[in-house]
Chains A and B, each alone.
Chain A
Amino acid sequence: MDERELVRRAKGGDEVAFEALVRRYWAKAYRLAESLVGSADAEDVVVEAFAQAWQALPRFREQASFGTWLFRIVLNQARQWRRKQMTAPVEPLETESEEGEELSLRDIEALACERDWRRRVQQAVHQLPEHLRLPLVLRFWDELSYSEIAEVLGIKESTARMRVASALKQLAAILAKMGVLP
């Protein structure tokens, strides 16, 4: 069903329609929350965000897409959560990677594995400063356009582009420091 129709029905109290929206956006919302609060708390944040979205949906004016509206709620929830928890948003990284020390032969072999490479990239993403991490996550994990990213974050589209570019540049630097990217 068309998303606009789902939103219209959900606004009218149709729980099935809202469930469809939840399923459609769960993974993306989770990725966004995870980038802010880590995987241990991401699920809680997203549950809260969807519960809040359900309550607030009648006030959603549809000037933005449902996705960008929802992501703003997720962001707010994640930030509130962090304030409450008073914990650092980044997940602990393995020390040998942070220090960029020489990798053993076994590590090099492990890094050859695509899965491990992805894990390293995820770790590196979490090391980015938030103002760069969020646009990157919204762009490549949540597949938002630059104009949508600008809307979610309340910045200009050109700023969103610049931040994504800076994020990629820093990401490459972090991975190079880890010794996993030439």
Chain B
Amino acid sequence: MTCQQVRRQLLAWVEGELDESQWLSFVRHMETCELCRAEAQRWQRLVATLRAIAQSDGIPPVPNRLWSRLRTNRRRLPAAVSLFVTACVAFFLGWGVRGIATPLAPPKVSPAVRQGMDDGRREKARWQEGNHASTQRLRLSLFGETPLRVRLVIPSSVPKSVRPSPFTPSLPRYTPSLALRGATSVAFDIGQAQSFVPLSLPPRSLADLPTGEFALGNGEAVGQGEDASRFADEPFRIFVQVADPQGQVVRTVLIDRSEPNHVVAEWREIRQMQKPQTEVSDDALVSVDADAALPDRSDGGGAK
């Protein structure tokens, strides 16, 4: 084997790809050629070092902001597909799609709600009215055995007294103990007395529902490690994930003032942030002027 041939085989040699006869020829040349031997040793040392670098420290851990990005950037279907899927799901799961509004259409409070109603109907109406749409208006039927599960992620600096208070028929309302700071997750189940294990959430978020009230300690908020200051300028940011009984996500909703196009649901309590109250009454829920109390979306970017 000549020096030129050896140099051409150096990579195969350091990669251990030479067959036996090639390797023997290579080694015999090394024994006699000091220059080639030195070059081969250099390559060998370099490759060993490169591989050692790959194994060594110096790589930062996966930052929390990536998890945060993934949570808030859950995959969304194209609008048309999303609408179609939503309509199909709504049909099969008992939802009624009420129509499509313009992205910035103000929420409306129905006369029926304003006039008041019995408790059961009011609860349903609150849900309906609490879920006004900017891209789609959904009427969620919470009665019967609707086997849907909803997950909320509330990274928010909303004060205790004005925190969002979603509710279900069996969970009339979350208590103040659920006032959560920072990025927080809440899971609850609609219509089925079974536990819901939220995806990607630590065990402390598990809740056997419906069991009435439950609390997550303020200091143990999910996503505690996230940079809550990212949300400092946002009065609220809620992620709602609706899954079917098999755990397949059938609907995702991001309520985010910076992304008005994704706002498809809001709870009336949220709108009272500008008027903090220690207790949110049912009357207040249905009589608040939604347009006036909604956060200003004009500074959050246009509809997509």
B-binding residues in A (CB < 8 A): 12-16, 18-19, 22-23, 26-27, 30-31, 43, 46-47, 50-51, 54-55, 57-58, 117-118, 121-122, 125, 136, 140-143, 161, 164-165, 168, 171-172, 175, 181-182
Contacts and interface: CB of A to CB of B under 8 A. Distances in A.
Interface stretch (B59-67, B156-164, B226-234, B255-263): B59-67
B50 interface: yes
B103 to A, nearest CB: 21
B53 A141 contact: yes
A46 B60 CA distance: 11
A172 B39 CA distance: 9
A170 to B, nearest CB: 11
B199 A16 contact: yes
Nearest to A136: B50
Contact of A15 (B10, B61, B71): B71
Interface stretch (B40-48, B110-118, B216-224): B40-48
A51 B52 CA distance: 29
A168 B73 contact: no
Contact of B63 (A12, A14, A47, A168): A47
Contact of B53 (A12, A14, A118): A118
A51 B69 contact: yes
B235 to A, nearest CB: 24
Nearest to B76: A55
Q: Report, nearest first, the 4 A-B pairs whose CB atoms are least far apart.
A: A140-B50, A165-B11, A141-B54, A27-B59
Contacts, number: 94
Contact of A168 (B46, B60, B66, B199): B46
10 contacts: A15-B71, A19-B70, A43-B60, A51-B70, A55-B75, A140-B47, A141-B50, A168-B14, A168-B46, A181-B46
A55 B11 CA distance: 38
Contacts of A58: 75
A165 B248 CA distance: 49
Contacts of B71: 15
Contacts of B199: 14-16
A122 B14 CA distance: 19
Nearest to B200: A15
